[in-house]
Amino acid sequence: MPLKNMNLPNTRRFAPRLLLSLLLWGASLAQAQLSIQITGAGANQIPVAIADFGGDPGTSRSLTSVVRGDLERSGLFKLVDPHGAVLTETSPIDYPSWKSLGADALAAGSLGTSADGRMEARFRLYDVNRQTQLGGAAYLTGVPQLRAAGHRIADYIYEKLTGERGIFSTRIAYVVKSGSRYVLWIADSDGQNAHEALVSREPIISPAWSPDGSRLAYVSFENRKPIIIVHSLASGKRDVLANFKGSNSAPAWAPDGQRLAVVLTKDGSSQIYLINASGGAAQRLTSSAGIDTEPQFSPDGAYVYFTSNRGGSPQIYRVPSSGGNVERITFEGNYNVTPRPSPDGKSLAFIARHEGRFQLSIMDLASRQVQIISDSYKDESPSFAPNGRMIVMATEVGGRGVLSAVSADGRIKQRLSVTAGDVREPAWGPFSK
């Protein structure tokens, strides 16, 4: 789709620093709500118009604002102002006038009532240049689930126009430290709809989503030492997965959700073990005199990537998950940590230290070429979105911990911060079912 630089007087100009409005759900929630700033955008943005949907105007506006916000935040779309046009999924489309507004794609829809009396969000997506329909869908919803319906519509549009799965319906886990209070939050990927999963007076680190998105494994210091907990989000049930002598940390789920790789010091130095998600004994996977930590399964489950100082400085290695020969992956510099294989298994995100700066880097695993993709200096804990497009990580701005999301090509950047407290330890959840 061609990209045109339209010069319409009424075209809404998107400020480079767009602050999404906060949902004020009481003071504590509002304080912890993530606000998102977009600080970079994709090179080739698809111009798309989301018409005002039919149905109750107020509710429809809430829905379309979620769809528009999602698409805009992705950095891959340029939103074309529909100039107040209300179009339902059955309205005839005046393709030439949308083309003159610069839109390559157009979505129209309505909020109506389904056969069983529930609220239903319906929409259609059109290719303006080819003057054809690209598809459409209807989602049962309700006022409390309106945002979720908006995310699903945005996911549909995103996938149709980019060819890759959308991530607007996914969730992000993160930890906010305010004074001596630590809260593990679960929010939608747009920072809204945040819920406290755990409140503690001791640190919480390394949250890791189970592949089905129902549970989080994390490290809690609530027993005055690090232990690993598996926490079912819906019920709040918490099970101790590892509380061996010494430190227990760095949980990572196998792709099948049956096992986790963990780091234990029960036999001496930090080493990597495999443990069943349902419990049982820990089986040692690595063996070195030094530090082996930060295990992470490759998406096919064949390898476990990890950080080790066995060669004298912390570097990234991998070992077959069934055990075997250890292979060194990083060689440049003397501090390469926190390996995170991309969802397609083709690249590896990690943190590299260069002259005291800790920066997000990406290695192409076939060529072993490394590219630094951040311009910040205290990057930690990168986590891929399930479609591999974005990486969320913790970094620091003005002495405060914030989350930063950057596209794997480094072009699109978003910053997620809370008004009070340090945000850290982000973990991007899997695709929703």
Partner 1 sequence: MKTSMKLSLAAAAVTLALAGCGTTSEKEGGGAPVESRESPSTGVTRVEAGGVQSGKLPAVLTDPNSILSKRSIYFDLDRYDVSEQYRGLINAHAKFLVENRQFKILIQGNTDERGSREYNLSLGQKRADAVKQMMVLLGVREDQIESVSLGEEKPKAEGHDEEAWAENRRADILYLGEF
215 lies in the site for partner 1, by CB under 8 A:
no
Q: Which residue reads 């399930």 in tokens?
A: 386
Q: Strand 400-407 to strand 390-397: parallel, antiparallel, or no bridges (unpaired)?
A: antiparallel
286 lies in the site for partner 1, by CB under 8 A:
no
Q: From the list 239, 310, 365, 375, which residue makes contact with partner 1 (rule: CB under 8 A)? A: 239
Which residues, 162 to 191, sit near partner 1 by CB under 8 A? none
Rounded distance between C-alpha atoms, residue 52 and residue 370, angstroms: 44
Q: From the list 211, 213, 246, 311, which residue makes contact with partner 1 (rule: CB under 8 A)? A: 246
Q: From the list 48, 208, 229, 427, which residue makes contact with partner 1 (rule: CB under 8 A)? A: 229
Q: What angle do CA 343, 344, 345 make, to 5 degrees?
A: 90
278 lies in the site for partner 1, by CB under 8 A:
yes
DSSP notation for 405-417: EEETTS--EEEEE
Rounded distance between C-alpha atoms, residue 139 and residue 136, angstroms: 10
Taking contact as CB under 8 A, which single stretch among the options 6-14, 38-46, 196-204, 317-325 is the one that binds partner 1? 196-204
Q: Which of 400, 362, 396, 355 is nearest to 379 (CA)?
A: 396
Taking contact as CB under 8 A, which single stretch among the options 4-12, 78-86, 92-100, 238-246 is the one that binds partner 1? 238-246
Residue 222 · residue 255 · CB < 8 Å? no
Distance in Å, CB of 399 to partner 1, minimum: 7
Per-residue binding letters, 291-330, with partner 1 (x by CB under 8 A): xxxx------------x-----xx----------------
Taking contact as CB under 8 A, which single stretch among the options 61-69, 94-102, 203-211, 385-393 is the one that binds partner 1? 203-211
Distance in Å, CB of 291 to partner 1, minimum: 4
Q: Which of 272, 307, 311, 327 is nearest to 380 (CA)?
A: 307
Q: Which of 27, 29, 74 is nearest to 192 (CA)?
A: 29
Q: Which of 348, 335, 360, 336 is nearest to 297 (CA)?
A: 348
Name the CA radius of gyration of the chain, rounded: 23
420 lies in the site for partner 1, by CB under 8 A:
no
Residue 61 · residue 84 · CB < 8 Å? no
Q: From the list 49, 275, 348, 392, which residue makes contact with partner 1 (rule: CB under 8 A)? A: 275
The site for partner 1 (CB under 8 A) is made up of 196, 198-203, 205-206, 219-227, 229-230, 236-247, 249-250, 263, 265, 268-270, 275-276, 278-282, 290-294, 307, 313-314, 335, 337-338, 351, 353, 356, 358, 378, 380-381, 399, 425
